[in-house]
Structure 1
Amino acid sequence: MTIISLVMPYYRNPGQLSLQYAEMTRWSEKAKAQIEVVIVDDGSPEPAVDVERPEGLPDLRIYRVLEDRPWWQHGCRNIGAHEAVGPWLLLTDIDHVLTAEAADALLKRLGRLDAGTAYFLHRIEADTGLPTLNAKGKMKPHPNSFVMTRGLYWRVGGYDEDYCGQYGTDGLFKTRLFATAKEGFLKKVPLVRYWRDIVPDANTATLPRKEGRKPGEREAVAIRKAAEGRADQIVTLSQEYERAL
């Protein structure tokens, strides 16, 4: 029985997805029975469904957004959370890997987690196996990976797709999340972070990031929403998509 759904967006990451699959085959039988995987392809020219799938994977579904729009990964998270069947969600990016050991550790913790709390996860570096640290030498979790209930996700409202298409709007969701939820940290449940020096397509390399931001773009969306009387409206599931697997 599925008790937690692992939700990941995908965009032109076949090598990294292959690495994800290889690790998932190592999951224990209990983890494979209790964790489903929901991958949402962001209209990628190299579709996720075309990546070879080895034997021994957990329950897996792939959805595909029908139009390739830049930086629609938050909309993909909304689709994944909508289609998930587990009462709990683990939302992360494709360059962060849940190892077999971490999957078992997560399942052991789930029964003691608070439904009103959103949890960050411990993070370690793929090349060294050491924790990711911030400038002060303290553990630095991935700011966009969370464990929470599906009910909490939708109580917060999901990611506002009016802001999709811009890089770096994760903080807007996080602000709303922790206005509703308590903040937790799963220190003993690590995600392993890969980057393009290890796997060339570990994360998106074909779109501009911070250097592509237009000054005032985010503020312009907020002004437009307010002018339309939609300042507090959260737009979700606005893109057409289909099940690919």
Structure 2
Amino acid sequence: MIKDVGIVKARHPLDKQHIKLTYVTHFYCNQGDMDSVESLLAEYESYPNDIKDAVEFVIVDDCSPLEYDVKDYDLNFTWLRITTDIQWNQAGARNLGVTYAKSDKIIITDLDCLLPEDTLRCLVNARNPGRSLYRIYRTDEKTGKAYRGHPNLFFMSRARFFRLFGYDEEFAGHYGWEDYRFVKMHKDHGTTPRYLPKKFRCIERNVDRKKSYHSLDHNLTHNTPINDRKKSEIALFGSEYSHSRIFLNFKWDLKKVHSRPATIPERKPWWRPLWWFRYLFRSLSV
């Protein structure tokens, strides 16, 4: 008889096969401190163990000028720092974060969003998004009602992310349009936009944008003609045009990796013997 505990104890300390969801976020802080990042992780650190055991956080520092030490959070996390100074490199930061993801289910979000316990647990236990691109409703602070989700928060499949080449880094260096073009690329190729049920919300964080954020200029002048050209390219030439394939066009360092002890997974001895059902289903769906 195979002993579950023995298997877990024998696993490599960096083994992450028990991770069910990867939470990717990025930041650029050029002001006073790192509280916008540290307070977010401290909040998630307070969540129940069943969530913390199943989630890996990938934090990407987009070449912030601040000097700091990465704290020892009680989370599974990978902390990366881009060392090539490119302004507005959100596209590259997200590509890098998803590259280091340890699960196919991923959530990509900015620092000003917080997922409550029930929402994060929903994503941990959700079916694989496959060809769907999910957003999450936000809560109106005054009315308590749900309203449209943050425009660049996505719950999706890592495989689907890479199938359509991730974010287009031709937009990097200047502000705007990379999220819009990312969504349009997916819609044009049959990815279905959806929302999580309204009972699962996202909370907007009160980030101090004068003390612990960035002061970059929001100017669309440079990237608007690039977006217009890409719109024309896919309209004229069709499938898979409009994406430059520029990817990870910078250098980075791995600053820190922390892993919580691996948990014993639920036993599913029936899964492997049923391989032929999966084979048959795949054959009939081609």
TM-score relative to the length of structure 1:
0.81
Matched, 1:36 2:56: yes
SS of match in other structure, 1:40: strand
CA contact (8 A) 2:133 2:156 kept: yes
Matched, 1:61 2:81: no
Q: Which runs of no fewer than 5 residues in structure 1 stay unpaired?
A: 133-138
Counterpart of 2:168 in structure 1: which amino acid?
Answer: D
SS of match in other structure, 1:244: strand
CA distance in 1, matches of 2:212, 2:193: 28
Matched, 1:172 2:167: no
CA-to-aligned-CA distance 1:104-131 (integer Å, 9 cap, x gap): 23223x13x5411010012236x66935
CA contact (8 A) 1:21 1:53 kept: no
Of 153, 166, 173, the match for 1:158: 166
Matched, 1:236 2:250: no
CA distance in 2, matches of 1:129, 1:27: 26
Per-residue deviation, 1:51: 5.3
Q: How does 1:13-92 map to 2 (within 5 A)?
A: 14-46=34-66, 50=68, 53=71, 55=73, 57-92=74-109
Per-residue deviation, 1:202: 6.0
Of 220, 228, 240, the match for 1:213: 220
Aligned to 1:184: 194
Counterpart of 1:27 in structure 2: which amino acid?
Answer: Y
CA contact (8 A) 1:106 1:189 kept: no
CA distance in 2, matches of 1:100, 1:192: 11
CA distance in 2, matches of 1:179, 1:221: 15
What is the number of residues matched between the two proteins?
Answer: 226
SS of match in other structure, 2:135: strand
Per-residue deviation, 1:161: 0.4
Q: In angstroms, what is the RMSD of aligned CA positions?
A: 2.8
Aligned to 1:130: 144
Per-residue deviation, 1:190: 1.9
CA contact (8 A) 2:132 2:192 kept: yes
CA distance in 2, matches of 1:234, 1:162: 8
Of 148, 153, 167, the match for 2:156: 148
User: Which piece of structure 1 moves more, 172-181 or 13-22?
Assistant: 13-22
Q: Which runs of no fewer than 5 residues in structure 2 stay unpaired?
A: 1-17, 234-240, 257-286
Relative to structure 1, the CA distance from residue 86 to residue 147 in structure 2 (aligned partners, 3 Å threshold; closer, same or farther) is: same
Counterpart of 2:159 in structure 1: which amino acid?
Answer: G
CA-to-aligned-CA distance 1:55-77 (integer Å, 9 cap, x gap): 5x220111111122210012100
TM-score relative to the length of structure 2:
0.70
Matched, 1:2 2:19: yes
CA distance in 2, matches of 1:233, 1:243: 26
SS of match in other structure, 1:53: coil
CA-to-aligned-CA distance 1:117-163 (integer Å, 9 cap, x gap): 010012236x669356xxxxxx1100100100100111121110011
Counterpart of 2:225 in structure 1: which amino acid?
Answer: E
Task: Name the % identity.
Answer: 22
CA distance in 1, matches of 2:145, 2:71: 30
Counterpart of 1:233 in structure 2: which amino acid?
Answer: S
SS of match in other structure, 1:166: coil
CA distance in 1, matches of 2:108, 2:135: 10
CA distance in 2, matches of 1:77, 1:44: 15
CA distance in 2, matches of 1:151, 1:242: 24
Counterpart of 1:53 in structure 2: which amino acid?
Answer: K
Counterpart of 2:144 in structure 1: which amino acid?
Answer: L
Counterpart of 2:119 in structure 1: which amino acid?
Answer: A
Counterpart of 1:164 in structure 2: which amino acid?
Answer: A
